Structure 1
Amino acid sequence: MAEFCVAELGTVLGVSSTSAKKLIGHALELRHRLPRLWAQVQAGCVPAWRARSVAETTIHSTPSLTREAAGFVDAQVAAVAGRIGPAQLDRLVAETIKRYDLADPDPAADPEDGYLSVDPRHATLHDEDVHFAGTMRFEAELDIADALDLDRELAHHAAQQKALGSTESLDVRRSKALGDLARTQTALDLAMSGGVEARSARTPATDGDHLPVAREVVIHAHFDAGSVGEQTVFGPTGRLEEGQRLVLLDQVRYWCGDSRTKVTVKPVIDLNTELSTPAYAIPDRIRDQVILRDRTCVFPFCTRPARGCDVDHVVEYDHHAEADGRPQPGPTASRNLACLCRFHHRLKTHCDCASGHPLWVARRSGAVQSGVGVLV
């Protein structure tokens, strides 16, 4: 299979390259490792999306399922996949995988190892599901001792917050305590360095000045700004680049309220102004303008954020044009630059089918955008 055919398939189907890659992976998993379920799909007894859900689980199961384990799941699930609901199907697949593991088919293995061969511990941030209040769900499965210790520590921090005057609910205080605990642990080693004498010389009032920044989390928030008299007034809502989501001004104020937070305010960049340079290297100001203009990779249906993409010359820059006395065909200018994720940048560079194709014309916003970027 050609490396870049995934992008072509995705473009034809009207989906991203990542979605096309998943589609190919699910088809291969069903055809070769879940043949009974594949036959049910071919017969019209099981919807394709349900079969793909099973394939997604068997592909990404940890540890990886052997061919025999996938066959066991196939035998248990195929007959009923079209007659039960999605939630019940998910539970059935998970239970089937667990039963295969507990069956311990290897007769030479220790009988007790079957119950411990899969370690269920994990800590997962579900960043694809962001609540409108600006929260994310963090799920974890811990060792019993670790879980009890963490619960005791969260209860202690929540009680401290209440004693200091917090009127928030217990759940909110425990949630805040978990974030405070994470930041404290990040800075613990550096904060305690310097020997006993250095630590004893500090006082509670000045100890915070010696603490390093516990973490560096960078967010890019954009707000419309207007002038009322001599004051600058920001709109109540803005755009958060991370996840391409809306963000409230009050939320950013809360995030910036910590005295140890570093805030950088960048000047306004007019996205309709043509910026250029005679050199091949792209200056930061032009790079920021292209990133703010495109927002995502410009390849059709790709949603990779522009902040993590390469800024590419749409028409190739000719390094010998000036020496030969020829005009530069691919200038380093706003109109000739576009954001491409690394996969699609490689496709454009190394695949002949992409050369000069109209798909590579960068999208233009067309609207004047104003505001400032706040880096927290």
Structure 2
Amino acid sequence: MFDGDLTPLSTADLLESAAEHRAEANRADARLLEHAQIYADRHHPDLCPVRPGCRASDGRERAVVLGGEGCPEVAEFAVAEFGVMLGISPKVAADYIGTALALRHRFPFTWARVLAGEATPWKACRIVAECSKLSEQAARVVDKRVAGIVDSITPYRLDKIVKAAKFHADPERARAEADEKSRERGVFVGRSNEHGTKTMYIKAPSGAVIRHDATIAGIADALKTFGDTRPVQARRADAVGIIADPRYTEELLHQARQHRLNHPTPPATRTDSTTAPSTAHSPAQDTGTAHGSARSTGTGDGADRSVLADDCRGGIDHDSGSGEEGLLADDWTSDWGEPGPDDEADRDAPHPSAGDLPDPLDVPFTEPVEPFDPRLHVEPDDGEPLDAAAQRALNACLAQIRRQAHTNPSGRLRPGQTEIYVHLTDHTLASGTGVLRAEGIGPLLATQLSELVGHGPYTVKPVIDLNDAISVDAYEIPDRIRERIKLAHPVELFPYGNRETSPTIDLDHIQPYDPLGPPGQTSTANLAPLGRFSHRVKTHGRGWNVRRVDRKTVEWSTPHGFTFHVTPTGTHRVQPPRRAPDSN
């Protein structure tokens, strides 16, 4: 590790030095956890003048268990001195000591990897905190499942895998927690602001929200059909008022559908940029997993839809060096300056600057909350305001539709459709119990599937065999290939990539497409999902190289010669051969 003046270092040596200092900091954090453990050992009730089991009302010191079932008792007041010496509150000190003890006694495999420098201490502490309510036996089950992947995937993906492991380890507690969370549901309306607008916050089952959103999207499309040129979010806001009148909603959607049938528009050309959402992928999900999809009906009218955050603005693959207008420099705001929900969740990962790193004694051991940012829900057509004449015409049209709705209501509409991909093992499929994974949502108990799909009509599509390699002799990517790519690769294939595949993620030809090249270049073996920022780095970044090693492994090389393998188990660095000093 280089501790002198950093200025003379080459860029590669500077990066290597930074990694070594990060490793040294991790070793220091591990040693501090050992300090907490030994300190607790020295303050066991057998070695201190405390009275275990004493009533708390008399204010005297008691023996307490910090860290959960299976951890040794500690003299209650001992945490105060430990906290003073480290400059933290007694509560934080108690939590820290409890975490250290839980690592040693409840998560021995993870703790062994921490001591070996193979697991970042604060990530291990976070796992412990997430499992604090589990029994000792259940905690050991989680420990065995996640110990080997603590540092090979991002914290956001690790959280989801830990959640699934908790479900497997203690399904009864998982059901109890799910029931508890279900009681937190509700619809909350805030006060009007000075502009006469209100905010509505809805916490409801995922399936209900998806269907409600499909109806809102259908109404917004209907308004556009009848001449409303405003931005889509303005139309969606008006849809909230329209949906309160079921007959009006039905008539509006019915007439919009008839109008589109009578006045068809040419289909838009699809671009090389999409796939669909999924969640973190663990090694256990590679075998014995059925990939199917349920098509659940909502109440909106129109085509299948999925309202997701990351908009690619019609981005296309640019391996051949032509058509670079799709990846212009100003696109950084859509994938870097304004992060999507997956990138936002990665805020818990360490930052480049040591001063910005989370204090190991005060790491927020909470599950990341999905933020709501209106900027993430804006569609490509920003629209334009209606002039006075156009507004009057639209109002008259809508008023006529509403009158018709209440005087001569149309027949029942065919509901719109939404699509849900569910991944489950043959055991879960046969028994109806266990854990499954719903794309875009994450791990669920099998008993929660009916709530997600709903009680309306649904169609189960055939299972897709991802071992089938298919290709086409064209640059454009057909839907059947897109579907297989997003099922095979639920997360982008960039080193430590955190962007989950979605309809707006780019599909990149790993081997650049050559119009004069051989047939079958657009294939499941030559396509990789990449977030917009990752795609731009690969396309425009100097010195980045990627190649497919085998069916499950993609190899990336950075500008300064560092190599990484991206596999279903995460990202793994490949130690480079010895190289000559870099003059840069």
TM interval, shorter chain, is 0.3 to 0.5
Calculate the TM-score normalised by the size of structure 1: 0.42
